Amino acid sequence: MDMSSNHLSGTLPLSFRNLNHLEEVYLDRNMFNGSVEHHFETMTSLYVLYLSENEFVGAVPYLRDLDMLETVMLHRNRFSNVQTDSFSGLSSLRTLSLASQNVEEFTLERGSFRNLSSASGIFLADNKISTLPSLVFDGRQNTRIDLQNLGITTILPRAFDGTANVSILLNGNRVHTVSPIAFPQGAVRGSNCTDYAGWSGRCSEIAEIIDCDQTCSNVNPYIYVAKDNVHALDACCAFGGGHANSANLVMDAESSIRCGNFSLSPLNSYYL
């Protein structure tokens, strides 16, 4: 079905879902509006879905287990959120575009992209996404997760649980709150003092005043280390210092590096 660029308007009736023999749906570049949350979930033969450049609102379409689906283009609408497991089981998916939603805040719910094919590209550019919830990318492996310039401020506990061998791009955001257990253990580390999150200046300051063998027993109220064999400079470069098991992405408000056994409760957050 190709109805793109036809100046069509109004809402799609829910009965649209009965067209479950369709393999391709092109409704892009029209003026459709309203919700399409449940309009496509029974279309098991579908492999191409274009809804881009309309005025659709509410949650993005629920497409779970449509294992033939290869291309989903939802950009330039007014979708407000991605629900849990909306794209779970899309084993054939190669492209998912959610870019440029014309809303004040685009919300990702827990497990938004869980069990989505790791071979698929997820495009979120030109959205305002303030919070990364738990398990949002669960199952993503051997791929890149591009979260640049989205206005992210908060990364919740277990946000990146279930990921493996991924490159996570977070530059250009305004992250100020990160849970101590947002990333899998050992996921964020660094052997050189590179600028992971704009802290290279602070690392340079520490490098000038400490011995690389500095330990917590060498008391200094401003320079602490997280664990034996992890000195303050390493902790700064890896943005760790507070994690009980490794130099992980944990900073606190009082000190750039912290020593000690503090709670790793999911309710705790620390500030960059």
pLDDT at 202 over 90: no
- What would the mean pLDDT of 113-142 be, rounded to a whole number? 91
- What would the mean pLDDT of 46-54 be, rounded to a whole number? 97
pTM above 0.85, yes or no: no
Which of 254 and 126 is assigned the larger pLDDT? 126
pLDDT tens figures, 61-88: 999 999 999 999 999 999 999 999 999 9
Q: Which domains does the chain have, with CATH numbers?
A: 1-175 (3.80.10.10), 185-272 (no CATH)
Copy the structure tokens of residue 124.
């979120």
- What would the mean pLDDT of 214-224 be, rounded to a whole number? 36
- Quote the CA–CA distance of 262 and 125 in Å, as a whole number: 37
- What would the mean pLDDT of 88-103 be, rounded to a whole number? 94
Mean of pLDDT over the chain: 75
Q: How many CB atoms lie within 10 A of CB 177?
A: 14
Least confidently predicted of 20-29, 115-124, 142-151, 261-270: 261-270
Task: With CA atoms as reference, report the closest residue to 50 among 83, 4, 13, 102.
Answer: 4
pLDDT tens figures, 6-29: 999 999 999 998 998 999 999 999
| Residue 269, pLDDT score | 31
Q: Are 4 and 29 in contact (CB under 8 A)?
A: yes
| Residue 63, pLDDT score | 96
